[in-house]
Amino acid sequence: MKSILPESLGGQMSDIERQKLFEWVYDSEPLITVEVGGGEGGGSTFQIAEALAKLKDEGKCEPSIFLTADPYNNEAQNLYLGCDRYKDFMKFFSYSSAFRFVFNEDFPPPDFIFFDGPDKADFSLMEFIYFDELAESGCKFVCHDWETGVRHFDNKTCEKARLLRPYLESLDTWETVEYLSGMRGEWPNDQDEVISVGLICMVKK
């Protein structure tokens, strides 16, 4: 199953990373999906939205909603909110801090969380700790830019997971479902071509 990204949307995820995100959302059939985005392109937002729309086409996840915080992506917001396929189950927030006003004792916790926020180590860690306190068993957590060293995709180092990765790996309450490495010779990359910067999917026990 594959979704085709509209030409007006871009972003930094590779084709295989986007495809995996779509599959993980679709297979999870979540009711409350949260995205902490980086504000560029909207490609990940499309994969999540299209997976949920596909589920609704099949009569699944009818009451599901998608809450996304993507601060600078007005073009993507206009696309989704102007489209009957997505607008009824999507809600945009300017900043992820707004989620603190959404999740309370009267609102169900998220069961699918996607992180691709700013390249700030402290921010990623604090956001995860907040959502970890909300998340229940079975919740999926996906994070882009999971490599903390020099990744082979672009020979750059990303701060995003520098604190989050060791913290999460130290917990015994989460386990890995699937991992796309950002290193040469490790799946899904071979020695000649690197097609991921690191993408992790985990589930809460």
Report pLDDT digits (tens) over 181-197: 999 999 999 999 999 99
Span of 13-22, 67-76, 192-201 with lowest mean pLDDT: 67-76
User: 146-158: per-residue pLDDT in tens?
Assistant: 999 999 999 999 9
- In the chain, % of residues over pLDDT 90: 75
pLDDT of residue 97: 92
Q: Is the pLDDT of residue 5 over 90?
A: no
**Is the confidence at residue 135, as pLDDT, over 60?**
yes
Cα–Cα distance list, 32 to 5, 29, 108 (Å): 23, 9, 8
Q: Which amino acid is at 47?
A: Q
The model's pTM: 0.93
Is the confidence at residue 3, as pLDDT, over 90?
no
pLDDT confidence tier of residue 7, bands split at 50, 70 and 90: low
**75 Cβ partners below 8 Å, 6+ apart?**
8, 9, 42
Q: What does the radius of gyration of the chain's CA atoms come to, in whole angstroms?
A: 16
Give the mean model confidence (pLDDT) for residues 73-82. 77
Residue 202: which of 139, 159, 149, 147 has the closest Cα?
139
In what side-by-side order are the strands of the sheet with 65-69?
Answer: 90-93, 65-69, 32-36, 112-115, 140-144, 199-204, 174-180
Q: What tokens were used for 42?
A: 């909207």
Could you tell me the sign of the dihedral formed by the alpha carbons of 80, 81, 83, 89, in that order?
positive
Please check the confidence at residue 106 and state whether its pLDDT lies above 60: yes
